[in-house]
């Protein structure tokens, strides 16, 4: 009987092991992006923009044309590329420090221009790469290395709901929030990523998928505890769903 | 019959870029360079290009990073404070070896400073600005005609060396009007086909493109730096440009670039009319700097006078060139003030004794 392969590495993913900590969800999202690129058959016409953050080495894992941008500037880099080569599918992959703090201006204006790019936004409520400092998305009372007594809104304001904020703009085509905390959510996440890429391919403008993710290392939790903490603490504050659909 | 047209400097800069085949411009308003983005917003759609107003100079230079990565010709312009904001991005562009042209129409600083012409970004342009061991090929035109020619040449240089090239102009050049003839300037260099390295040719090349500056392995990063340095040494050999006038019999040589050199030429003419022997060395490339003509000054030269619209920046390179053989003095105005023909004449006369 002929062998039937039921699981293999996506073509758009390189054959190397990632540098991520055990239980980190960055790797899951990378794989979903690669699967979507394969399914849409756009590997040779796709360009990724890696952020500054734990996913800075994204270019080692996603096997398409890649840029590695300065901290927060991925949407500007993607804009420059897409404006010259509208025939290419251009996506950025950014953390919450990268996108919601230092790169807040770039993401708001790329969204507001309806820039025809796709953004995969990894919200892990912390600065992973630099060792667990407070992010704009850190939850109230959540402890980090720079809010050791827990985030206090009087000093640091409130966690930013990026998906809802950007959904107030007229131009964006597709905005959704998903998570990879359980297999059932992973399937939904892949659907959202695919919709986002399709929005771009159809020329319907800016698309963004916010993925609630874990950083077990800097949350100081075991991977399974981290997934549970995400479900119990992040989802109530950051509701899952689609906030903007292409018309 | 000549094809000269009367044009404002900033518009002429923009037109020169369009004629050099540049179709992509990302900018942000700042005086005294606003006519460049304004002109591009009308002109680029005519040639099937894209003008995009960025949300800031930070975003603008990163849009250039993305656009230049496709191998097409890209231009960005600003004035001093805006160039400061771009500095991180320029460092990334230099590190990733992307070609692009940047125009700085300098105004007085530091800080918000003023909106009138200055030359106080010489250090920023030639000694770094951003972080790391990188160099910007920096051209300093003296007239609008020369500016248009340098801008066209700058695109070839940027592509040949895969390095950002800066045109260092000042507010006078941006705002003045002059008759210009747009001549096709093309360097006879063997420019690599962007399809060999740029984004967007994965299928043709059979290999993806990777545009990055990160290098976590120190040995690799040192190697990359050494490769960049070799490139800079090649620029230093090949790209030094300057004008030398009346240096052979001079007692005093004035060193000045851009608008200041233009004023100094009038002073020199007056001094010569009075029988005083004064010459001029006008660097046209600021990086690489023309050290040699200062090192090889004729024996008769007794003094070098550096004139700048700054508190004294290029003078440091002139001194490196002169190597203490003769005294080097300075006359400068700054903050938007320009040295007059008479002031330079006076300063030279003092040295002539
Ligand atoms: C201009 C600049 N400032 C600061 C840094 C340091 N830095 C590197 S990664 C990072 C935070 C990344 O956090 P996030 O975007 O949330 O990504 P994560 O690592 O959590 O995936 C910071 C501040 C930098 N590289 N560049
Ligand atoms: S530090 Fe956090 S985000 Fe970074 S790889 Fe480790 S677990 Fe993942
Ligand atoms: Mg993070």
pTM comes to 0.97
Consecutive sets of 10 residues in chain B, 353 residues long: mean pLDDT of each?
Answer: 89 98 98 98 98 98 98 98 98 98 98 97 96 98 98 98 98 97 95 96 97 97 98 98 98 98 98 98 98 98 98 98 98 98 98 90
Paired residues of A144 in beta bridges: A147
Cβ-nearest to A81 among B54, B70, B212: B70
Pocket of ligand 1 (CB under 6 A): A 52-55, 71, 95-98, 122, 124, 126-130, 135, 215
A84 and B50 within 8 Å at the Cβ level: the answer is: yes
CATH of the domain at A224: 3.40.50.970
pLDDT of residue B320: 98
ipTM, two decimals: 0.97
> Could you please report the per-residue DSSP string of A58-78?
HHHHB-SEEEE--TT-HHHHH
DSSP alpha helices (H): ranges in B96-166? 122-126, 144-161
Paired residues of A13 in beta bridges: A62
Topology annotation, domain B5-238: Rossmann fold (3.40.50)
Spatial contact of B80 and B313, defined as CB atoms under 8 Å apart: no
Residue A18 lies in a domain: no
Beta strands B137-139; A118-123: pairing state: unpaired
Q: Look at ligand 2, atom 5, and give the residue with the nearest C-alpha.
A: A20
Question: Cα–Cα distance between B173 and B221 in angstroms, integer?
Answer: 40
Most B CBs within 10 Å, among A41, A65, A71, A94, to test the B interface? A65
Spatial contact of A63 and A13, defined as CB atoms under 8 Å apart: yes
C-alpha distance from B107 to closest chain A C-alpha (Å): 26
pLDDT of residue B1: 53
The number of folded domains in chain A is 1
What separation in angstroms does the CA of A111 have from each of A64, A162, A171, B228? 24, 11, 7, 36
| CATH 3.40.50.920, chain B: domain bounds | 243-352
A44 and B54 within 8 Å at the Cβ level: the answer is: no
3-state secondary structure of A124: coil
Spatial contact of A74 and A105, defined as CB atoms under 8 Å apart: no
Beta strands B50-53; A46-50: pairing state: unpaired
pLDDT tens figures, A111-135: 999 999 999 999 999 999 999 999 9
B68 and A80 within 8 Å at the Cβ level: the answer is: yes
pLDDT tens figures, A1-10: 678 888 899 9
Question: Cα–Cα distance between B338 and B343 in angstroms, integer?
Answer: 10
Substitution candidate for ligand 2 out of A29, A124, A217 with most atoms within 8 A of CB? A217
pLDDT of residue A1: 66
C-alpha distance from A61 to closest chain B C-alpha (Å): 12
Which residues form the domain of A58?
23-242
A64 and B64 within 8 Å at the Cβ level: the answer is: no
Q: Which residues of A touch B (CB under 8 A)?
A: 43-45, 47, 49-50, 56-57, 59, 63-70, 73, 76-85, 87-88, 105-106, 108-109
Token duo for residue B13: 């800069």
Question: Cα–Cα distance between A128 and A144 in angstroms, integer?
Answer: 10
Query: Which ligand ends up closest to the CA of A92?
Result: 1
Report the sign of the C-alpha dihedral through residues A215, A221, A222, A227, in that order: negative
Cβ(A66) – ligand 2 distance below 6 Å = no
Token duo for residue B64: 């250039």
Substitution candidate for ligand 2 out of A52, A123, A128 with most atoms within 8 A of CB? A128
Residue A2 lies in a domain: no
Paired residues of B137 in beta bridges: B165
Find, in chain A, the residue whose alpha carbon is nearest to that of B51: A83
Residue A58 lies in a domain: yes
Token duo for residue B274: 């009075």
Query: Which ligand ends up closest to the CA of A125?
Result: 3
Neighbours of B41 (CB within 10 A): 15
| CATH 3.40.50.970, chain B: domain bounds | 5-238
C-alpha distance from A69 to closest chain B C-alpha (Å): 7
3-state secondary structure of B179: strand
Q: How far is the CA of B248 from the centre of ligand 3 (A)?
A: 65
Topology annotation, domain B243-352: Rossmann fold (3.40.50)
């Amino acid at each position: 009987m002929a062998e039937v392969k039921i699981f293999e590495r996506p073509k758009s993913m390189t054959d190397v092991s990632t540098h991520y900590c055990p239980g980190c969800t960055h790797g899951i999202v990378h794989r979903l992006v690669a699967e979507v690129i394969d399914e849409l058959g756009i590997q040779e016409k796709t360009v990724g923009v890696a952020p500054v953050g734990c996913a800075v080495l994204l270019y080692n894992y996603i096997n398409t044309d890649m840029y590695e941008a300065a901290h927060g500037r991925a949407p500007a880099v993607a804009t420059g590329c897409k404006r010259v080569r509208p025939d290419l599918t251009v996506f950025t992959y950014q953390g919450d420090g990268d996108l919601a703090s230092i790169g807040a201006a770039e993401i708001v204006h790329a969204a507001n221009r309806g820039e025809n790019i796709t953004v995969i936004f990894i919200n892990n409520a912390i600065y992973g790469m630099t060792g667990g400092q407070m992010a704009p998305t850190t939850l109230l009372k959540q402890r980090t290395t720079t809010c050791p007594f827990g985030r206090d809104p009087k000093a640091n304001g409130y966690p930013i709901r990026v998906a809802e904020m950007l959904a107030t703009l007229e131009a964006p085509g597709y905005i959704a929030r998903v998570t990879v905390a359980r297999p059932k959510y992973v399937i939904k996440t892949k659907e959202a990523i695919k919709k986002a890429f399709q929005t771009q391919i159809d020329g319907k403008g800016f698309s963004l998928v916010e993925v609630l993710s874990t950083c077990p290392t800097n949350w100081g939790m075991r991977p399974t505890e981290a997934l549970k903490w995400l479900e119990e603490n992040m989802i109530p504050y950051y509701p899952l769903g689609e906030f903007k659909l292409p018309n | 019959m000549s094809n000269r047209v009367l044009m404002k400097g900033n518009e002429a800069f923009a037109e020169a870029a369009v004629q050099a085949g540049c179709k992509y411009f990302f900018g942000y308003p700042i005086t005294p360079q606003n006519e460049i983005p304004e002109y591009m917003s009308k002109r680029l759609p005519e040639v099937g290009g894209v003008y995009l107003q960025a949300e800031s100079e930070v975003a603008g230079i990163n849009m250039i990073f993305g656009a230049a990565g496709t191998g097409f010709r890209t231009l960005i312009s600003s004035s001093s404070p805006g160039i400061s904001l771009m500095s991180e991005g320029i460092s990334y562009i230099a590190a990733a070896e992307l070609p692009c042209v940047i125009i700085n129409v300098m105004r007085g600083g530091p800080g918000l400073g003023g909106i009138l012409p200055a030359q106080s970004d010489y250090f920023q342009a030639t000694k770094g600005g951003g972080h790391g061991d990188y160099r910007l090929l920096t051209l300093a035109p003296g007239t609008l005609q020369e500016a248009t020619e340098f801008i066209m040449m700058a695109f070839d240089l940027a592509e040949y060396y895969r390095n950002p090239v800066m045109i260092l102009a000042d507010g006078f050049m941006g705002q003045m009007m002059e008759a210009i003839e747009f001549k096709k300037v093309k360097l006879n260099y063997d420019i690599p086909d962007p399809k060999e390295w740029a984004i967007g040719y994965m299928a043709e090349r059979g290999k993806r493109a990777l545009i990055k500056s990160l290098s976590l392995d120190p040995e690799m990063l040192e190697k990359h730096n050494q490769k960049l340095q070799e490139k800079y040494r090649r620029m230093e050999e090949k790209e030094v440009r300057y004008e030398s006038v009346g240096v052979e019999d001079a007692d005093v040589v004035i060193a000045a670039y851009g608008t200041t050199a233009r004023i100094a030429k009038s002073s020199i003419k007056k001094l010569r009319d009075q029988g005083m022997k004064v010459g001029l060395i006008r660097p046209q490339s600021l990086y690489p700097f023309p050290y040699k003509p200062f090192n090889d000054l004729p024996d008769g030269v007794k003094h070098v006078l550096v004139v700048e619209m700054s508190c004294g920046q290029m003078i440091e390179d002139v001194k490196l060139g002169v190597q203490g053989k003769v005294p080097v003095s300075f006359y400068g105005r700054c903050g938007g003030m320009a040295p007059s023909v008479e002031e330079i004449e006076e300063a030279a006369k003092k040295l002539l004794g």
